[in-house]
Structures are given as C-alpha cells and as structure tokens.
C-alpha cells in the first residue's frame, strides 16, 4: 500500500514559501491560521511533466465523538495534495493505514491512502467558489457527517467494494433476459477507433450466425456471482487477484463460474489461439443490504483482460485448458478428465497477477427510465397510438413521445423525404428519397437498444380504407394523432366508427400559432364537428383575424403549383412541437374535447393560449346529405329570435360542404343586415354590409367558410315548417348555389324547434 508520506522530498520550512502552486500556498496559510489544522510536513514531488505539492496535516474534529460506530477519530492525519493544473481538483487522503472503508471515497487504481470524496458537484463548477478556508471546513464536515453515518442515506443505491472506473461497457437494457437465449450471441465492439484510448464499449445481442461475429474482437464471458453484502468501495482492481480479493473474499464468488464458461466455450474441439481477441468478463453481482437478505439490486461490472491473455491463455492460467505437447496453435480440455470436470484452481501465483482494466457497466435507455426521466407514470403510457403524418411537426412529436416512453406507436405516412424537407424534418441529407415513415421509424426506434421498443411503420394514408394494416392499427389503438396538414384525413378519421379518439395538430401558415383539436374520450364530439367550431372561433374572435393568413411570401421549392413552402424559423417548429406534445398528453388524460390555439407573443418570448368552447354536435339527415351543426348554433338562433320578437328576423348561414362525406357543416349564423325589413307577419333580408361580412369570414378561414344558405324565424304559434313562400325562396337559393353544384340550406326557427331544409338542384 502506497502512502503520501513517502512521495517526493520533504522541504525544510512549513510556511509554504518553497511551494509554487498558489492553491497549495493558500492552503498552508489557511492551516496556519486554523486552530484545528496542524501542519506536520510539506513534501514536493516533481516528474518529467507533472508535479504534486503535499501538505501533511493533523485534522482535529471537535464534534466527532470518540465512540462513533464508523471509526472516524477526533484527530485524523491527512495529506492535502495540490496539482499545477487548475482543472485538477486538490486531493485529500487519510494517512491512517486502518482508516475505515467508508462510503464516498474516490477511485484509485491501486490500494493506497483512502481518498476522500468531498464535493458532489463537478470540480469545474466547484472551483469557481473554492477557497482554501472553505476546503478545510469541507474536510471537517466530511469527517463529522461520515462519523454520524449521514453521507450514505438509507434509500441510496447499494455499493460494491470496487470503485467506479473511467471506462464504460454499454449493455442493452434487456441484456439480462436475452443473454440467456441460446440462439443469440454477445457481440462487443469499441466506440473509438483507437483501441489504446477506449472509453466506451458497446454490446449487442445478435443471432449467432450474424456476419459481424466474423470480425469481432472481443470474447465475452458473462458470469452471475453469488450474492454479497454491500460495503464501502476501496479501489479499482488492476489485476485478477485484486478482483478476487474485492469480491470472492466478500462473498461474491465468480471464479468457478468463469472457469466453467471457458471450459464450455472450448467444447470437445478445443480453441484456437488468437491473441488479437481480448477477453471481457461481465459480472452481474446481486447485492443485499443485510446479511442473508434477498438481493435488492444487481450491479454490473466488466473487466477486459490484458492483451497477452486471450481466452486460451486465460484458460491455461486458470487450470481449465491445456496445450498438448508440440501443438502451439490450439488448447483443449484435459482428455484425462471427465466431460464436465475441470482441473482444480491453480495457486494464485499462476493467475493473480493477470492485468485487467475495469469498465463500468451501463445499460441503454429503457422505457422505464424514459418515463422516469419524463416524470410520467407507466399507467398513463400504457396505450397504443397511431401517428398520422410524420412531416416536420409530426416527426418531432413522435420523437418526443418515444423519448418519454409515452405510448406504443404505429406511424402512417404516404410521402418521401424531399431535399427541402431536411431543413425542417428530423430526416437528414442521406435520407433524401426514402420513405418518411421508415426514416422516422428508424430514427425514433434507435432511441432504445435493438428490438427493445415496438414501433411499426405503414407507408400509406391513414384514411385509406384499402390498407388492411391501417385498419388494424386504428382498431387496436385508443388515440390517433393527425399531423397530415390535410382536410380529408382528420374528417375521414372523425366519421370512422370505433373507440380510437382523434386529435389533430398543425401550425398556422405563418408559424406564429399551433392548433390542437381533440375529440372527447367517448367520441361524442367528432373531429369533423370540432373543425367547424374551430372556424367559428376564428370568425368571431378579434385576435384571430390573421390566424390563417400567410404573412410571408411563398418560398418556392420547385416549379409545380403545390411546391411552395412558407418561411418559418425551425426554432418555432421545435417550440410548437414541445408545447403541443405536452398539451396532447394532457388532453389524452382528460375526458373532454378541446379546441386550443397557442400563439407567440409579439416579442416571441412566450405563448398565449386561446381555448375555444366545444358544444355538442347535432346531425340532421336530409336526403343524401347530413347537416352537421351544434348546440351553440341552436342556442344562438333561439336567442336572436327571442331578441327580435314579436317581429320576424333572419339572416345568412355560414358554413361549407364536403361532397365526399356528403355533409354540410354549419359554422355560424349571421343576424339580419340593418337594411332588412321585419314585421310581425314577414321578413325580407337586407344586404347592407353582408358581402363584407361573408368575405371576411371566408378570408379568416382561408377560403373554406362561405354563404351556404338562409335562416329565418317564424312567429309564435307558427311551426318551423316551410311555407309556400319559403319553398319558393329555397328553390331560388338552390338555383343560385346550384351553379357551383352546392345544395341550398334553409333553417327555420320556431318556438322551441328548428327545422333543417335542404334542396339540391
């Protein structure tokens, strides 16, 4: 065991004048002023390219009780070590050989003086406020809290007697289950090209016949040890003997299992020597908090053996394999032994000095970790969803949700990645020409290890009834998110029977706003009805005047009429995607339908949320058409009629038609123009200002909403059925609207009843 007492040369003075490192000189001055730190000696070590300045002190902790169960003493000899580079934190080491093996010690490659882990924050942040005086107080605090057993909390993860290492082996999150599959093998590869600078190794579980095994460089040996009691770490083992001391002598037996693996690996045919293939030992260590307790967790550790010890030589050193006389290329099991019997473990001299380098074992992200990271529960994530449209917005949304482990998704899209898409899409230049759905599926699925996340892609339209896979996906899902930026897909999904709730999300043409339309959980208010109520919100609200207007000139990405895009900063798309992702998650947890518009403030420093009122729809079938309106329109008609009684009144009906669905949507009704003629016995609608109002409604809805008919009220006692005059009027409307192939609508409001009348030329 090495000690700082023996490092370098002692200097004759204790005032720090012989030191070159400013932090070391400051520490000496602070110690000389502090009543509880006594400087015993100062040492300096100088190498070819490095230097260390060491202050040996006695630290007195007045509040540490002499009978504390941990074993911290009131007076502790310490070495305060400083280095020239400001990026290297000062070290604090106990000089007591029997210093207790407590938690929160720093890693060391060889056993030596215990190194105190003083700071929780990275040194790059700690050094900003570091002073020598604070450093001394921190040492006293560490000793006091350790003596009280407060540094390692009861619910803190258990530890091993092996410290963390600077290198990492990354295993698939499902490694424990799939590593036992006899049809699969473990393939380990390095991340860095330069093997002399390995920091990460990656492991994958692949079918044993996979072509990558032909060039693999590492031979994995996977061993589960017997359970062991957690204890404070001591050092990073650098030899197989160190590892044996740290684990086997603390109950975690692994040597027999390791030898058995090598024995099994050799088989009857033996093994060919190959010094280019390195052995990697992967240990799964069950930890218990109390003796004889059940394992609370499994900790992984990995070690790569020195390049001189391939699996054949390692097997020889461990007494598992032998080399026949005169055969320099192969090793075999000893044929004098039985098929499952190995040689006894040789003496430690044969194997304890084999050099090993430790890797920390980490696992790729799992759904459980993703959900914890996102702060959402497993229950809220346990559903199947369909993402219709994986363009700029849709691809970002599904990427966010997959990273959060929210839902299990089927992606549906009929488009390919075009050159201009890569500026807004998660796709990159190499993906140009590929199917968007496959690109997004591959990129989002790659968030997790191979085969550990179930995500399906379907190339096609989500409203195509001819695609059986789409039908099955919608039948099995509880949520479909439409990001197609089309009219037809959300409308078709809205009329589709079943329990799959429809949500539609899109950006307005300027990119200033994002829109969320959502059915209620029971689908009492369908998407096609919500769309009409969204347009009513745009028509009525003053702030929505320019909502669907493009404030920028088109950005042409090709010569075709449809190949125009709109300049929108990518940061806006990311911002809206993040907001919509949260709002859609909240909507899914809610039972209510929703109309929500999120609009940037003028300074682009935040968003204003506008919520629309969703009313229950009313569908009236008349002939081959279904008129879709709602309780909001019904109530408004009754209110206008009541306000004008005893006179009759009326006005224009705003809406739009869908000839594929054979549906006529009533968006809103207008009151009578000021030049109308109204009396107890009749009503003649005027025209003053009417054209401007209708044109404004059409402009606000980007050409969708227009005049689709007339409405008028009947006086008390007169049922809302068309009179002879009404029939003549609707015939005239049918003639006018029929020029565009549209049906004519007449709505008659009576006392407590409303009739819907439709005539198609």
Cα 572-573-579 angle, rounded to 5 deg? 90
Write the DSSP symbol of residue 29.
Answer: H
DSSP E strands: which ranges in 400-556?
408-413, 456-459, 479-482, 501-507, 513-518, 555-556
Cα 648-652-657 angle, rounded to 5 deg? 140
Write the DSSP symbol of residue 347.
Answer: P
Q: Which of 368-382, 619-633, 654-668 has the lowest mean pLDDT?
A: 368-382
- Provide the pLDDT for residue 756: 96
Greater confidence, 183 or 38?
38
**Boundary (domain end) residue, out of 564, 596, 612:** 612
Does 575 share its domain with 644?
A: no
Report the side by side order of strands in the sheet with 37-46: 9-10, 37-46, 51-60, 75-82, 91-94
Mean of the pLDDT values across residues 642-660? 95
- Please give the residue range of the domain that contains residue 529: 369-612
Does 427 share its domain with 354?
A: no
Residue 626 has pLDDT above 50, yes or no: yes
Inside any domain, residue 162: no
Cis-peptide, bond into residue 646, ω within 30° of zero: yes
Does 354 share its domain with 377?
A: no
CA distance 201 to 191: 6
- Provide the pLDDT for residue 211: 75
Residue 107 has pLDDT above 70, yes or no: no
- Provide the pLDDT for residue 375: 87
Mean of the pLDDT values across residues 682-686? 91
Please give the structure tokens belonging to residue 382. Answer: 């346990």
Residue 509 has pLDDT above 70, yes or no: yes
Give the length of the chain. Answer: 761
**Boundary (domain end) residue, out of 341, 363, 385:** 363
Residue 560 has pLDDT above 60, yes or no: no
Mean of the pLDDT values across residues 706-719? 94
Does 605 share its domain with 623?
A: no
Q: How crowded is the C-beta side of 77, counted as CA atoms within 13 Å?
A: 13
Does 376 share its domain with 314?
A: no
238-279 pLDDT, tens digit per residue, is 889 988 888 887 788 899 999 988 988 888 888 999 888 888
- The CATH number of whichever domain residue 521 belongs to comes to 3.40.50.720
424-472 pLDDT, tens digit per residue, is 899 999 999 999 999 999 999 988 877 778 899 999 999 998 999 999 9
Q: Which of 214-218, 352-356, 577-581 has the lowest mean pLDDT?
A: 214-218
Q: 380: helix, coil or strand? A: helix
Inside any domain, residue 698: yes
Greater confidence, 500 or 509?
500
Does 311 share its domain with 177?
A: yes
How far does the chain reach from its first CA to its final CA, in angstroms? Answer: 102
CA distance 480 to 487: 15
CA distance 449 to 459: 24
- Provide the pLDDT for residue 538: 95
Q: CA dist 163 to 91, 200, 250, 363, 451, Å?
A: 17, 17, 15, 18, 32
Does 629 share its domain with 561?
A: no
Inside any domain, residue 159: no
Phi/psi at 683 (5° precision): -150, 130
Please give the structure tokens belonging to residue 424. Answer: 């807004």
CA distance 197 to 236: 18
DSSP E strands: which ranges in 478-542?
479-482, 501-507, 513-518
CA distance 488 to 462: 10
**Boundary (domain end) residue, out of 311, 331, 363:** 363
Inside any domain, residue 152: no
Per the CB < 8 A criterion, the answer to whether 666 and 629 are in contact is yes
CA distance 77 to 37: 10
Binning pLDDT at 50, 70 and 90, where does residue 124 land?
Answer: confident
Q: Number of folded domains in the chain?
A: 4
CA distance 301 to 242: 14
Inside any domain, residue 153: no
When mean pLDDT is compared over 164-173, 219-228, 524-533, the highest value belongs to: 524-533
Please return the burial class of 621, using the count of CB atoms within 10 Å of its CB with bins 0-12, 13-18 and 19+: exposed
- Provide the pLDDT for residue 2: 65
Does 200 share its domain with 324?
A: yes
Residue 685 has pLDDT above 90, yes or no: yes
Binning pLDDT at 50, 70 and 90, where does residue 563 land?
Answer: very low
CA distance 300 to 173: 12
- Provide the pLDDT for residue 360: 81
Model pTM score: 0.77
Residue 210 has pLDDT above 80, yes or no: no
Inside any domain, residue 156: no
- Provide the pLDDT for residue 556: 36
Binning pLDDT at 50, 70 and 90, where does residue 396 land?
Answer: very high
CA distance 281 to 222: 6
575-610 pLDDT, tens digit per residue, is 999 999 999 999 999 999 999 999 999 888 889 999
10-45 pLDDT, tens digit per residue, is 999 999 999 999 999 999 999 999 999 999 999 999
Percentage of residues in the chain having pLDDT higher than 90 = 57
Inside any domain, residue 161: no
Does 453 share its domain with 503?
A: yes
Does 434 share its domain with 558?
A: yes
CA distance 255 to 269: 23
Does 424 share its domain with 561?
A: yes
Does 636 share its domain with 537?
A: no
726-741 pLDDT, tens digit per residue, is 999 999 998 888 888 9
Report the side by side order of strands in the sheet with 501-507: 456-459, 408-413, 384-388, 479-482, 501-507, 513-518, 594-600, 607-612
Inside any domain, residue 228: yes
Q: CA dist 588 to 54, 472, 479, 520, Å?
A: 62, 21, 8, 9
Centre a 10 Å sphere on the Cβ of residue 21 and count the other Cβ atoms it contains: 19
């Amino acid at each position: 065991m090495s000690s700082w007492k023996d490092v370098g040369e002692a200097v004759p003075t204790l005032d720090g004048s012989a030191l070159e490192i400013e932090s070391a000189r400051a520490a000496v001055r602070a110690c000389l002023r502090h009543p509880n730190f006594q400087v015993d000696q100062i040492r300096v070590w100088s190498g070819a390219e490095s230097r260390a300045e060491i202050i040996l002190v006695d630290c007195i902790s007045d509040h540490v009780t002499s009978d504390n169960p941990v074993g911290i003493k009131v007076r502790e000899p310490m070495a305060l070590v400083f280095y020239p580079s400001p990026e290297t934190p000062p070290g604090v080491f106990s000089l007591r050989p029997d210093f207790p093996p407590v938690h929160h010690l720093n890693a060391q490659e060889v056993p030596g003086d215990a190194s105190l882990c003083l700071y929780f924050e990275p040194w790059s942040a700690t050094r900003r406020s570091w002073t020598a005086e604070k450093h001394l107080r921190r040492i006293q605090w560490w000793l006091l809290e350790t003596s009280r057993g407060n540094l390692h909390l009861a619910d803190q993860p258990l530890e091993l007697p092996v410290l963390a290492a600077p290198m990492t082996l990354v295993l698939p999150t499902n490694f424990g289950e799939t590593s036992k599959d006899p049809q699969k093998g473990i393939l380990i590869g390095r991340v860095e090209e330069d093997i002399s600078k390995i920091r990460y190794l990656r492991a994958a579980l692949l079918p044993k016949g996979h072509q990558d095994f032909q060039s693999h460089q590492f031979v994995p040996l996977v061993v589960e040890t017997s359970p062991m009691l957690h204890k404070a770490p001591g050092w990073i083992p650098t030899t197989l003997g160190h590892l044996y001391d740290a684990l086997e002598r603390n109950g975690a037996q692994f040597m027999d299992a390791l030898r058995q693996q090598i024995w099994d690996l050799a088989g009857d045919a033996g093994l060919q020597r190959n010094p280019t293939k390195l052995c990697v030992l992967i240990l799964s260590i069950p930890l218990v908090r109390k003796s004889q307790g059940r394992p609370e967790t499994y900790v992984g550790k990995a070690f790569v053996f020195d390049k001189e010890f391939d699996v054949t030589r390692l097997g020889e050193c461990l007494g598992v394999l032998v080399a026949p006389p005169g055969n320099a290329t192969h090793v075999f099991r000893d044929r004098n032994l039985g098929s499952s019997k190995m040689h006894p473990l040789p003496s430690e001299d044969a194997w304890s000095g084999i050099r090993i380098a430790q890797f920390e074992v980490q696992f790729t992200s799992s759904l459980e970790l993703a959900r914890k990271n996102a702060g959402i529960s497993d229950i809220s994530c346990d559903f199947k969803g369909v993402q219709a449209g994986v363009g700029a917005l849709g691809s970002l949304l599904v990427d966010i949700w997959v990273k959060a482990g929210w839902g299990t998704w089927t992606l549906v899209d009929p488009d390919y990645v075009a050159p201009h898409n890569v500026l807004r899409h998660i796709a990159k230049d190499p993906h140009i020409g590929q199917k968007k759905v496959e690109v997004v599926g591959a990129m989002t699925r790659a968030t997790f290890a191979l085969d550990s996340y179930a995500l399906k892609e379907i190339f096609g339209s989500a409203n195509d009834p001819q695609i059986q896979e789409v039908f099955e996906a919608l039948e099995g899902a509880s949520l479909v998110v439409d990001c197609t930026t089309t009219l037809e897909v959300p409308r078709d999904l809205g009329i589709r029977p079943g329990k799959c709730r429809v949500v539609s999300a899109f950006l307005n043409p300027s990119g200033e706003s994002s829109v969320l339309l959502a059915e209620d959980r029971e689908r009492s208010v369908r998407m096609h009805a919500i769309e009409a109520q969204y347009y009513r919100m745009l028509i009525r609200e003053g702030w929505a005047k320019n909502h669907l207007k493009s404030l920028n000139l088109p950005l042409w990405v090709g010569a075709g009429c449809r190949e125009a895009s709109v300049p929108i900063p990518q940061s806006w798309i990311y911002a809206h995607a993040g907001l919509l992702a949260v709002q859609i998650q909240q909507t899914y947890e809610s039972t209510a339908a929703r109309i929500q518009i999120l609009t940037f403030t003028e300074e682009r420093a935040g968003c204003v949320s506008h919520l629309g009122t969703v009313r229950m729809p009313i569908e009236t079938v008349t002939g081959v058409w279904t008129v879709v309106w709602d309780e909001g329109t019904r109530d408004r008609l009754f209110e206008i009629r009541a306000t004008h009684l005893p006179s009759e009144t009326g006005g224009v009906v705003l809406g739009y038609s869908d000839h594929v669905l054979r549906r006529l949507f009533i968006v809103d009704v207008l009151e009578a123009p000021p030049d109308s003629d109204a009396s107890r016995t009749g009503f003649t609608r005027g025209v003053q200002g009417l054209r401007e109002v209708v044109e404004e409604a059409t402009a606000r809805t980007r050409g969708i909403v227009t005049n689709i008919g007339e409405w008028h009220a009947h006086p008390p006692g007169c049922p809302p059925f068309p009179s002879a005059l009404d029939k003549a009027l609707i015939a005239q409307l049918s003639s006018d609207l029929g020029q565009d192939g549209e049906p004519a609508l007449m709505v008659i409001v009576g006392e407590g009843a409303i009739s819907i009348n439709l005539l198609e030329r």
